Amino acid sequence: MGYTEPVPNALMKALAFETSARPLDRKLLVAKTAAQGREVLRTLAASGTSWIGWDIATLRMLAHALAADDLARRGLMLIDEFTSMRLVDEAIEEVAGAGGATIARAMRQPGFRDSLQRALRVLREADAEPGTEHADLVDAAVAVKRAYERRLRERGYADRATVLRAGVEALRSQQAALPAEFVYVVPMMVHYAEAELLRAILERPNTFVLESDPVIGLARPRAGVGFRDAGIASTTAFLHAPLQAGSADGDEVRVTVYAAATPHDEVREALRRVMSGNIPWDQVELVATDARVYGAAVYATCQRLGIPLTMSTGLDLSRTRVGRAVHGYLRWVRDSYPSEAMRVMLEAGDVAPRDPPGISGARLAQRLRRLRIGWGRDRYERVIEKALRASLEAAGPADNREPHEAESTRTREQNELRALRELFRDILRSAPDAPSRLSGRDARGTPAAIATGLLAFLRHVPPADEADQLVRERLEQRLQRARAELTAETSWEAAFARIERVVRMDVAMPTADDARSWTSQPGRLHFSDVSGGGYTGRPHTFILGLDATRVGITAFDDPILTDDVRKSMSARGVAIPSSAELLAERRYEIAALAARLRNHVSFSFAAWDASDGRAVPPASEMLQALRLIRRDESLSYSDLHAELGRLASAVPTGSGLLDAGDVWLNAIVTPDGVMRDAREAVLRAYGNLARGIEADRIRSGTELTGYHGLITRDAPEPIRVYSATQLETLGTCPRRFFYRYLLRIEPPETYDFDPEVWLDPLERGSLLHKAYELTLAGARERGIDYADPAFATFAHDTLESVIRGWRDRVPPPGEAAYTRERALLHEDFEIFIGSIREQRPDWLHLEFEFGRTRPFEIETTAGPMRLRGAIDRVDRLEDGRLRVIDYKTGSRRGYWKRWPFAGGRRIQHVVYTAVATRLLGEDVADMEYQFPTRKGQNGRVRYRTEALQTPETALGRLLRVAKGNFFPATEDANDCMWCDFRNVCGVKMKWGRPVSRPAEWTYNIGRMRDEFAAFRNIRDADG
Ligand code: SF4
C-alpha cells in the first residue's frame, strides 16, 4: 500500500459505491461542516474514485437555500452573529432593568451572560420554554428570550433558528426543493431545529444517510438521526462489546494503549511512537477529545520540531503573532493601561510605531520603562511630553552622568521619546475609557468602544508573514462588525467579555502549497477533534485525552438549563437532551470514531491535571480498549493500570526520539528510571555550562582573578566627578561601585501594582525633601515666624501642593492608598515642623548645589578629586560659624556618633563640610544628619568638623580604591541586603538574613591578600 492511499472504512466504501452507481448525476454530500465534507471527498479521490458530480453542503447552508424565497416573501432580513449579539444584549439590559437587584446583578456578570446566551440558543432552536415552576434565573432566561424574539419581530429579522425552521417548513410544504437530485448525509449527531431539518430532508425521495461502521454494544442516541449500519464490523466497532470481536469477519484493527503524565507528554509520546515505527507523518492522524488543550500542545510541539501539520479544528488565534498582540492589548486595557504590559509587547515586537524610526523595540521598551508611567490612560502623553521637555534642559544635581555623556545621549533620548509619543498618541486616541483599577466595579462601557481601540491598535502590530495578514483581515472584519453592532452600553466587564468572545476564533492552518487549509494534506501530520476525526483514511490514529474529566459529564454543566429543567421540558414533549443523554452521545461519538478507524488505533490519556494539581483517572474507554485487546470483559481498572505501567513523560522509554532532549534523557536514564552520572558528557556538549561551572570553581579558589574584581586598565583612571552617594557605594562595596558606576549597569525599574502602596521609599524621600525646602523658603519670603501658628498652616499647605504635584507624576493605585499615605506624610511633617520650631534655623542656603556649573576639585592624598552634589541646608549658628544639614527620611540605622565612617560607608559629612568651608569661605562648626520623621524618631546625629578626619585623608582613602585595579566584594553580607545586584552576585536570603558567597570569599580569603590593603584602609577609617 502506497502511503498516500487511504484505508477505506464502511463510509468510504458506501460513498465509492454510490459514486460509481451514479457517475453522471449531480449529488450533494451533507456534512456537519464544510471542512468535514471536503475531507471525505478528498479521501474518496485519494482512493482512486473521482469526486466529479459531488457538491458539499451543511444543514445550515441548506436551510438558507431552502428558506430564501420564504424569507424574502415575508420581508425578513437575515442577521449575522453580531446583530444577534446586539439583540441579546439589548434584551438582557431590558430584563435586568426590570428585574430585582439580584437578577440584575447576575445578568450583568460576563460568565452568566455566556450561559444565558447558550440557554437562549437552545430554547430558540428547540422552539420551547421551560415551565414556570423553576428558579428565578430560568424565568429571567425566558424573559430574555421573549424580549429578543420581540425585537426580531419588530425589526423584521430572521436569525439562525428562524432560518432552520423556515427551511423545514419550505421543504415539507414543497415550496422549495433540495438543490440536487441525490442527497447523501454523512452520519452526525444533531439536535433541535437541525435534527428536524435532517428528518425533513430524509423524508424526500433519493435522500440517504450513508452507511457507516456500526457501533456494537452501545444504544444509539436520539441525536443520531437516520444512521445506517454497515453489515460488517471492524475490530474497533466492538469497543463496548469486546467478547464479540473475535467472531467478526470485518477488518482487523490493532489496538494499543498508553498513559502519559500530561497532555504535552501524551502528544510527544504519540510522535515518538510514530518515529520509532518509521511511519510517514501523512499516515498519521491525532484526534483529541479536547481540541483546545491538545490542539495547542500539538501545534507547539510540531512548531518546535518542524513537523508539518494540518488541523481540521483550525488554529487558536492566540497562537498567532497578531492574536498574541490582541490579547496583550486587551490585558493592557483591562488593567487600566499599565506601561509594563506595553513594555513587554514593545520588547517582543508585538507592537511598533507605524513609521519605523530605526529604533529597536528593545530600546523603546527601555525608554518606556524609564518614564515610570505606571498606569492610567491619561498619563502616557503627559509623561512623555514632560520627559521631552526635560531632555532639552541641563542635567540636574541628581544626574550622575558626565556632562559630555548627558549631551551625547540627548538626541537619542529625544528620538526615542518622539517615537513613543507618535505610537501612543494614535493608540490612545481610540482607546476606550477603562475604569480605574480599584473603582471599576460599577463602570459601564460598550463593546464597540473596545473594538474601536483594538482596530487602531492593530495598525501598529507589525505584519509577520502572508498567513498572518490573512488572519488579521478576518479579525478586522469581525471587529468592524462588533464596532458597528455592539454599541449598547453595559457593565464594563460584560462589554469586555463580549470582545473577548469576538476575538476568540480559530483560523485555518497556514500551509506552503495552500495558504489556508482546514483539511489534511500530503506530507503533513493531521490533527482533528472527535466529531471531525477518522475521515482521512490514514492507517495510524491516536485518540488523545481519554481521561474521565474530558470525556465525563462535567463538560455539560449548565447553570440555567439544569437537568431538572431539561427533564421537566422533556416530560412535556420537548426534544431536549439531559446531561446523561449528552454524555451518552459523547461516548457514542468516541465509539463511532473508533469504529471508522482502520489498521492501528492508539487510546491514551494524561493522568495529571497540572492546572488543578491532581491525578485524573482514565475514562472507561481506556479500560474498554484493554478489554478489546485481550478480548476479556472481566478486566478491571487495576489491570488497566498494570498494563499501562510507567507514564510517558519527558524521559523516553522506546526507540522513538524526538529531539535533543529525548536523545540526552534516553542516554542518561537507565530503563529502570535511574539517572546516570553524565556530568562529563553534558559539559563536553554544552560549552557555556562548562564555562559557568569553571567560573564558579575559580570564584571559590584562592587565586585572585577577574572573577574576584581584579581588573586591568588600558589607561590610568581619568579624573572623574564623584557624588557623595557614589563614594558611599564605593566604601560599602567596591564591587557594587564597579558594576554601577564603572560598568554603568542600571538595574531594571519594574513597577508592580500594589493596591496598598503609593510611593516607594525613594519617591517618598524626594517628596519630603521638596516640601522641606519650599516650606522654609516660603516662610522666609512671607515673613512667617516659626513659632507662629501660621507657620504650621503654611507648612501643611506647602506639603499638600507638593503631594498634588506628585500625584500627577506618580498615580496612586487608588483613593484609599492615596488618602492613607497623604495622612502619614502630614503626620511626618508635624515632626519636621516641631523640629524647625525647636531649632529656629537661620538658614543661609537651601539645596546648595556644587560642582555642576563649575567643577569643584579637592586635593587628596591620592590625587585630585572632583565632587558634585547638593547640600540640603546650610545654617548660620549663633557664634557666626556654619552648620551643614542633611535630611534623612529613613531610619537612623547605620549613623553612629562614635563610628562616623561606619567602616567607610559614610562620607557625606566629610564631603559637605569640605564643600561648605571652601565654597562659602567660612568656618564650618559641624555637620548634622536630621531624621524628622516617625521612622527616624526625629533624631539628629552631629559630627564636629574637628572630630572628622581631614577630607584629604578621608577622600584619599576612597580615591585610592577607585583608581586601583581591585574591586572586591564587601566582606559583610549585611551590605548585600538592599543591593540592586543581589541576583548578579547570587545572594540568597536565609532566616531573613542575606547569604552572599562573594562576601564570604572576601571575608575568608580576599581580605588576607595584599591587594586588599587599600580597601582595608577604608574599613579602618574609624580607627
Ligand atoms: S550583592 Fe553584595 S557583594 Fe554583590 S555587589 Fe551588592 S553588596 Fe556587593
Q: How confident is the model at residue 233 (pLDDT cuts 50, 70, 90)?
A: confident
779 lines ligand 1 (CB under 6 A): no
Catalogue the E-assigned strands of 263-366. 284-288, 309-311, 315-316
730 lines ligand 1 (CB under 6 A): no
Distance in Å, CA 726 to ligand 1 centroid: 14
What confidence score (pLDDT) does residue 200 get?
Answer: 96
Percent helix, percent strand, percent coil in the chain, to nearest 5? 50, 15, 35
What confidence score (pLDDT) does residue 1 get?
Answer: 39
> Is the per-residue pLDDT at 62 higher than 50?
yes
985 lines ligand 1 (CB under 6 A): yes
Distance CA 416, CA 379 (A): 17
Catalogue the E-assigned strands of 124-235. 157-158, 182-185, 207-209, 211-212, 228-229
- Give the mean model confidence (pLDDT) for residues 260-284: 96
Of 972, 979, 989, 1019, the residue with max ligand 1 atoms within 8 A of its CB, to mutate for a pocket test, comes to 979
Query: In one letter, which amino acid is 470?
Result: L
140 lines ligand 1 (CB under 6 A): no
Distance CA 490, CA 493 (A): 8
What confidence score (pLDDT) does residue 632 get?
Answer: 95
Of 981, 997, 1003, 1007, the residue with max ligand 1 atoms within 8 A of its CB, to mutate for a pocket test, comes to 981
Distance CA 593, CA 603 (A): 12
Please name which of 978, 844, 809 lies closest in space to residue 920, comparing C-alpha atoms: 844
Distance CA 286, CA 293 (A): 13
Q: How confident is the model at residue 186 (pLDDT cuts 50, 70, 90)?
A: very high
Q: How confident is the model at residue 96 (pLDDT cuts 50, 70, 90)?
A: confident
967 lines ligand 1 (CB under 6 A): no
DSSP summary character for residue 394: P
Joined grid coordinates for residue 952: 584629604
740 lines ligand 1 (CB under 6 A): no
| CA distances to 91, 549, 766, 859, 944 from 927, in Å | 74, 73, 21, 21, 7
Strand partners, 926: 883, 944
Q: Which atom of ligand 1 is nearest to the CA of 999?
A: 3
> Is the per-residue pLDDT at 2 higher than 50?
no
> Is the per-residue pLDDT at 93 higher than 80?
yes
735 lines ligand 1 (CB under 6 A): yes
Distance in Å, CA 998 to ligand 1 centroid: 7
- Residue owning the nearest CA to atom 7 of ligand 1: 976
CA 68, 71, 75, 76 dihedral sign is: negative
1002 lines ligand 1 (CB under 6 A): no
Distance in Å, CA 983 to ligand 1 centroid: 9
Quick check: 493 and 109 in contact, CB under 8 A?
yes
Please, what is the angle between helix 403-429 and helix 379-392, to 10°?
160
Distance CA 445, CA 450 (A): 8
- Residue owning the nearest CA to atom 4 of ligand 1: 985
- Residue owning the nearest CA to atom 5 of ligand 1: 736
| Chain mean pLDDT for the chain | 90
998 lines ligand 1 (CB under 6 A): yes
DSSP summary character for residue 436: P
| CA distances to 74, 145, 961 from 1012, in Å | 97, 83, 9
Of 728, 743, 972, 987, the residue with max ligand 1 atoms within 8 A of its CB, to mutate for a pocket test, comes to 987
pTM recorded for the entire structure: 0.79
- Give the mean model confidence (pLDDT) for residues 306-316: 92
Distance in Å, CA 745 to ligand 1 centroid: 13
> Is the per-residue pLDDT at 515 higher than 70?
no
Q: Which atom of ligand 1 is nearest to the CA of 998?
A: 3
**% of the chain with per-residue pLDDT over 90:** 67
973 lines ligand 1 (CB under 6 A): no
245 lines ligand 1 (CB under 6 A): no
Q: Which atom of ligand 1 is nearest to the CA of 969?
A: 3
Distance CA 726, CA 771 (A): 25
- Unique residue bearing C-alpha cell 462588525: 481
Query: Which of 432-436, 542-546, 822-826 is the least confident region?
Result: 432-436
Of 985, 989, 993, 997, the residue with max ligand 1 atoms within 8 A of its CB, to mutate for a pocket test, comes to 985
Distance in Å, CA 1020 to ligand 1 centroid: 20
Q: Which atom of ligand 1 is nearest to the CA of 975?
A: 7
What confidence score (pLDDT) does residue 375 get?
Answer: 78
975 lines ligand 1 (CB under 6 A): yes
736 lines ligand 1 (CB under 6 A): yes
> Is the per-residue pLDDT at 215 higher than 50?
yes
- Give the mean model confidence (pLDDT) for residues 116-129: 89
| pLDDT tens-digit readout, 843-896 | 999 999 999 888 899 999 999 999 999 999 999 999 999 999 999 999 998 898
What confidence score (pLDDT) does residue 369 get?
Answer: 83
994 phi and psi angles, rounded to 5 deg: -75, 140
What confidence score (pLDDT) does residue 4 get?
Answer: 58
Distance in Å, CA 1007 to ligand 1 centroid: 16
Please, what is the angle between helix 59-73 and helix 192-203, to 10°?
90
- Unique residue bearing C-alpha cell 500625584: 807
- Unique residue bearing C-alpha cell 488523545: 544
Of 745, 967, 977, 996, the residue with max ligand 1 atoms within 8 A of its CB, to mutate for a pocket test, comes to 996
987 lines ligand 1 (CB under 6 A): yes
994 lines ligand 1 (CB under 6 A): no
999 lines ligand 1 (CB under 6 A): yes
733 lines ligand 1 (CB under 6 A): yes
- Residue owning the nearest CA to atom 3 of ligand 1: 969
Distance in Å, CA 217 to ligand 1 centroid: 72
- Residue owning the nearest CA to atom 2 of ligand 1: 976
> Is the per-residue pLDDT at 587 higher than 70?
yes
Distance in Å, CA 912 to ligand 1 centroid: 26
What confidence score (pLDDT) does residue 89 get?
Answer: 87
Distance in Å, CA 858 to ligand 1 centroid: 29
| pLDDT tens-digit readout, 381-398 | 988 988 888 777 655 554
Distance in Å, CA 331 to ligand 1 centroid: 36
Q: Return the SS3 of 925.
A: strand
Q: How confident is the model at residue 265 (pLDDT cuts 50, 70, 90)?
A: very high
901 lines ligand 1 (CB under 6 A): no
Quick check: 754 and 810 in contact, CB under 8 A?
no
Between 812 and 17, whose confidence is greater? 17
